Structure 1
Amino acid sequence: MSSLDWLNGQAFTAFGQHVIYSDIIGNTIGLAALALGWRRSILTWPVQVLSGVVLIGAYASAQLAGGVGKQLLVVFVALWGWSQWRRGKQQARDGSIAVRFAGGRERGMLVAGTALGTLAVGGLFTLVPSLSWNPWPDAYIFVGTLAAMTAQARGLVEFWFAWLLVDIVGVPLAFSSGLAFSGLVYVVYLVLVLWGLRSWWLRTRQNTAGTPAGRETAAEGALP
């Protein structure tokens, strides 16, 4: 048996749902990536890439072309985020990434981009049913995930709010769809999101209180 066959093999059955190894491993690695994001470690990005690659195998084994396409895009955004943090890493005194709240224009662009993106992707999923069996919630979660990753790449605290909004829909949707394992993963994500939000928020207050204005501005400017 090859490694790919093993990854796409059935691990166990829960609540009548067959859970394969690649689904378990990919989502577990995704949790690790989020935890590293909370720590502001640049390793969050290569770990996200690895999670996406494993989940591509999971969707491919289930012959879900839409899922494969979405994970490919997630991998692409993760690679971009990795390059952004590599450019900004040298500006941080402790080796981590400086974080900040978005400005009004940045927030407006994130909200508008997420709304327009959800409409566009939801419309596409509706026109091509093979891409998604639940087009609008799926589009919302997908675009919200990309918005969160984009905000994370820029070191914005709003990254966590975006993840929180994704989880609010993702948790009940997964359980109601019979995806017990995915629902459990989303619950753990929710805990990590709240923890990470608190950490990044406190970090911005420490920066404001303890960092000279010029140095803080330089750190923020490292993530264009």
Structure 2
Amino acid sequence: MSLTDLLGPLLEPAFTFMGASTSWAELLGFATGVLTVWLVVRQHMANWPIGIVNVVFLGLVFLAVGLYADAALQIVYVVLGLYGWWQWLYGGAERSRLTISATRPAEWLWLIVSGGAVTVLLTAVLASWTNSAVPFWDALTTALSLMATYGQCRKLVESWWLWITADLIYIPLYAYKALYLTSALYVLFLGLCVAGLLSWRRELAARSLPVAATGAAGTTA
């Protein structure tokens, strides 16, 4: 049995909504996507293996509708998922579990520069070598997602802002491509990202309080 024979049924319609068919891959991507982001908010380690399964489903969906950069991005997500899994387990001090931190100015600088370069390069590639109808938006969301995924791998609290920005673009982009279920999924993602931002900020602030209190006590003494 070939890979096409194995994966082909996932692109068969599961149901039809507003005149557009929703494939099994899109439906399964919806379910695993919601579960993955919910687990990230809770900092549960299972988000990584479930997230890898999720990107396989979504990669098939994006390839089928001509979102080539997003489809290729799912391959990168698999690699980043393995990296993030290892980082969360052993990326802390003395190979301990990683804790939430803020993005340093130097990290922001190279993230913005690299994100801008990826956007420009991918826009040119998609416009010249594919039939993509939305090369710039496809490239921009790809760059933002890569930046956000790196931040998530390193448990940087500002990664949620990058995900929120990407989701605000993804929602109308997928609706434009008649991927209504995936567009709805990103509405849920948006809400979960806001919840994640608030949760991670609270934890970071709570962890900083004892340090601030100790410093204040030392100054008074």
Q: Which TM-score applies when normalising by structure 1?
A: 0.83
Change (3 A) 1:174 1:56: closer
Q: Which residue of 1 aligns with 2:102?
A: 101
1:126 aligns with 127
Shift of 1:117: 1.1
Aligned pair partner of 1:13 in 7, 13, 16: 16
Are the structure 2 counterparts of residues 200 and 118 from structure 1 closer, same or farther at C-alpha, using a change threshold of 3 Å? same
Match of 2:142 in 1: 142
For residues 10-51 of structure 1, what are the alpha-carbon distances to aligned partners after superposition, in whole Å with 9 as ceiling and x for unaligned?
Answer: 111111111001111023212211111111122211111111
> What is the aligned-residue RMSD (CA, Å)?
2.3
Aligned to 1:208: 208
1:43 to 43, 46, 68: 46
- Residue 216 of structure 2 is matched in structure 1 by none
Q: Secondary structure at the match of 1:101?
A: coil
% of aligned pairs identical? Answer: 25
Q: Which residue of 1 aligns with 2:86?
A: 83
Measured in 2, the distance between the counterparts of 1:116 and 1:198 equals 30
How far is 1:111 from its partner?
1.6
| Residue pair 2:41, 2:196 contacting (<8 A) in 1 also | yes
User: How far apart, in 1, do the equivalents of 2:174 and 2:61 lie?
Assistant: 17
- Segments of structure 1 that go 5 or more residues without pairing to the other structure are 214-224
| In the alignment, structure 1 residue 74 sits paired with structure 2 residue 77 | yes
What is the aligned length? Answer: 206
Query: Runs ≥4 in structure 1, deviation > 3 angstroms?
Result: 2-6, 56-60, 210-213
Counterpart of 2:205, as a letter, is: R
Structure with bigger gyration radius: 2
Normalising by the residue count of structure 2, what TM-score does the alignment of the two structures yield? Answer: 0.84
Residue 194 of structure 1: how far off its partner (Å): 0.4
Alignment of 1:159-178 (within 5 A): 159-178=159-178
